[in-house]
Chains A and B, each alone.
Chain A
Amino acid sequence: MNPSTPVPSAPHEHTAEPGDATATRLLAGWHATGRPADLTDHLRRHGQPPVATTFGSRTSRPLVETVESAGLTGRGGAGFPTARKLRAVAERRGRAVVVVNAMESEPASRKDQFLLAVAPHLVLDGAVQAATAVGADTVHICLPRTRTAQCRQLSTALDERHRARLDPVRLRLHALPHAYVSSESTALVRWLNGGPARPQGSPPRTHERGVARRPTLIHNAETLAHLALIARYGSDWFRRTGTPDEPGTTLVTVSGAVTTPGVQEVALGTPLATIVDRAGGPTEALRAVLLGGFAGTWLSAEDVCTPLTRRDLAPLGAAPGAGVLIAFPHSACGLSETARLLAYLAAHSAHQCGPCHFGLPAVAEDFTALATGHADPDLLSRLHRRTALLPDRGACRHPDGAARLAASALRAFADDVEQHLTRGACAAARRPARVPVPTAKPPETWR
């Protein structure tokens, strides 16, 4: 898969109106028409956006409360309760700012690009609703500048809204440098403030002092699209699918050894095996799945019956993350693939924090030695020690993600580790790679 491909294919499935309780909500329009929705299509399907009620309003139920009872959580990876973020920004003094995070820097993820391509106005509606709810006057939409087609499409969508005088707030499109850590929320704020698109760390937290030192609400594009539907159809509607603890649907990008890779919308709680089946099923016997992307967790094939919820995945050390699922076949070497993923993550360190700057390349090198069968006797204990020292020691969670990947690979491919240590690299290690990894070279620019 090429990261700059703007419109990946999604399997056509059952068609459903968003009023239905089925799993298709964000992509309902796409499934019904098979073409991207312009403003006319969007308004015909969903009607005019409701007049948002501001936080603290006495006249009707504020959006923050509706989102809270809907139980929406962030779909960008961290899974933080959306209402809590809205409230934190709304309660601050001063004009707030809303930032739409559409960076989607995870190379195996396509869901935000797909959503923005087929239903841009759902995302923009959500951003405007959120802005009104927290008292913001500006919405900044952040995209990577490498996705020129997407920038153009979104700019057209913004023109449509402007001509229709739809929005009471300013919407501004920004094209940022494309690097793995540039999608981190503090990196967006730093770039919008004129700096490099590198994570800033905290304090101050962005909800206290973010863009132009104003309280700043940052949400992933998909999260805002869900919010737009909640504002229209209510929290009870939202809860009609998913699990009671983790309601609603989520977008997942399925790739690897499946018949029809693509973006799916599934109810939270859908077993991973069902998601693989909906992608046409595996093309060969599966050894493992990589859940959550390059900074995700390897799960062995026995765990594919696990439902896609934070609660069910937590005991396995995994999380739904940004909804990336890579099906991994028996015929490939998990250690070699992990070594390449780690080399990429190491190259994409922002080189700001010592533990990440030095620790990531060291772990990646150890892994390469293990994968190629050139391990020294101390390798495994050194690898465990270095991996354990990555989490919680950076301005952002980049090293934590790399550590999660490395540690889970040692667990899920424990048999291979043993074989690589004692008998050298397996035959599969010499076969071509199965997980497409962009070249492991540092980003050209941060500004």
Chain B
Amino acid sequence: MSHARSLRIDRIACTGQGLCAELLPELISLDEWGYPVIKDQAVPDHLRPHTRRAIAACPRLALHADDGPA
């Protein structure tokens, strides 16, 4: 049984580069200024690889997946 993961954005670090929404459109969209809107904090199992990729791609290291349910 793997642990549930929940998405978190470091809002101070985030500068709205938008890569997260590109790589994880299932969970993240962008507002009119390009800042991420989390549609669902809980990361489903089948999106884990995409989530990992989005986290690694953020140039500001602002996207995180924390242990524990959202």
Residues of A in contact with B (beta carbons under 8 Å apart):
200-201, 352-355, 358-359, 386, 389, 393-395
In the assembled complex, which residues on chain A have CB atoms less than 8 Å from the CB atom of B33? 354-355, 358-359
- Report the separation of the CA atoms of residues A61 and B31 in the bound assembly, to the nearest whole angstrom: 53
Task: Please report B residues at the A interface, Cβ cutoff 8 Å.
Answer: 9-12, 14-16, 31-35, 37
A393 to B33, CA, bound (A): 13
Question: Which residues of chain B are within 8 angstroms of A354 by Cβ–Cβ distance?
Answer: 11, 14-16, 33-35
Residue contact B16 to A389, C-beta cutoff 8 Å: no
User: Can you list 9 A-B contacts (CB < 8 A)?
Assistant: A353-B11, A353-B12, A353-B14, A354-B14, A358-B33, A359-B33, A389-B37, A393-B11, A395-B10
Instruction: Please determine whether A395 and B31 come into contact, CB atoms closer than 8 angstroms.
Output: no
Q: How far is the CB of B36 from chain A (nearest CB, A)?
A: 8
Instruction: A358 to B34: give the CA distance in the assembly, Å.
Output: 10
Determine whether the beta carbon of A358 is less than 8 Å from that of B35: yes
Q: Is the CB of B11 within 8 A of A201?
A: yes
CA of A354 to CA of B35, assembled, Å: 6
16 additional A-B residue pairs with CB within 8 Å, beyond A354-B14, A355-B35? A201-B11, A352-B12, A353-B12, A353-B14, A354-B15, A354-B16, A354-B34, A355-B11, A355-B31, A358-B35, A359-B33, A389-B31, A389-B37, A393-B37, A395-B10, A395-B12
> Which of B11, B16, B34, B37 contacts A394, CB < 8 Å?
B11
Residues on A with beta carbons closer than 8 Å to the beta carbon of B37: 389, 393
A interface: dominant SS: loop
Complex Cα gap A207–B1 (Å): 31
Cβ-Cβ contact count across A and B, 8 Å cutoff: 35
- A389: B residues at CB distance < 8 A: 31, 37
CB closest residue in chain B, given A200: B12
Chain B residues lying within 8 Å of A393, measured Cβ to Cβ, are 9, 11, 35, 37
B11 CB to closest chain A CB (Å) equals 4
By CB atoms of chain B within 10 A, which of A352, A355, A358, A359 has the most? A355
Name the residue of chain A whose CB is nearest to the CB of B8. Answer: A203
Complex alpha-carbon distance, A200 and B35, angstroms: 19
The 8 closest A-B pairs by CB, nearest first: A353-B11, A354-B35, A358-B33, A352-B12, A395-B11, A395-B12, A354-B16, A355-B35
Q: Which residue of B lies closest to A198 (CB)?
A: B12
Which of A201, A358, A359, A386 makes the CB contact (< 8 A) with B12? Answer: A201
Minimum distance in angstroms from A445 CB to a CB of chain B: 19
A112–chain B nearest beta-carbon distance, Å: 27
Distance A384 CA – B55 CA, assembled complex (angstroms): 31
Q: Residue of A at shortest CB range from B11?
A: A353
Instruction: Give min CB distance, A206 to chain B, whole Å.
Output: 16
Contacts of A394 in B (CB 8 A): 11
Among A200, A359, A393, chain B packs the most CB atoms within 10 A around the CB of A393
Q: Residue on A with the closest CB to B14? A: A354
Which chain A residue shows the least CB distance to B35? A354
Which of B11, B14, B34 has the largest count of A CB atoms less than 10 A from its CB? B11
Complex Cα–Cα for A359 and B15 (A): 14
Closest to A358 in B: B33
Give the residue name and chain of the B residue nearest to A394 (CB). B11
Report Cα–Cα, A352/B9, bound state, in Å. 13
What's the minimum C-beta distance from A393 to chain B, rounded to whole angstroms?
6
B31 to chain A: which residues have CB within 8 Å? 355, 359, 389
Assuming the contacts A354-B15, A354-B16, asked whether A201 and B35 have C-beta atoms less than 8 A apart, the reply is no
Residues on the B chain within 8 Å of A355, using CB: 11, 31, 33, 35
Measured in the bound complex, the distance between the Cα atoms of B35 and A395 in whole Å is: 14
Give Cα A389–Cα B34 distance, bound, in whole angstroms. Answer: 12
Provide the bound-state CA to CA distance between A386 and B33, in Å. 11
- How far, in angstroms, from A200 to B11 measured CA to CA in the complex? 10
A200 to B15, CA, bound (A): 16
B10 and A201: CB pair below 8 A? yes
Which residues of chain B have C-beta atoms less than 8 A from A353's C-beta?
A: 11-12, 14
The closest CB in chain A to the CB of B37 belongs to A389
Q: Which residue of B lies closest to A382 (CB)?
A: B32
Q: How far is the CB of B9 from chain A (nearest CB, A)?
A: 8
Considering the chains assembled together, what is the distance between the CA atoms of A358 and B16 in angstroms?
Answer: 11
**C-alpha spacing A358/B37, complex, angstroms:** 14
Q: Which residues of B contact A386 (CB under 8 A)?
A: 32
Which residues on the A side are within 8 Å of B16 (C-beta)? Answer: 354
Nearest B-chain residue to A201, judged by Cβ: B12
B35 touches A352 (CB 8 A): no
Q: How far is the CA of A395 from the CA of B33 in the complex (A)?
A: 17
A201–B9 Cα distance when bound, in Å, is: 11
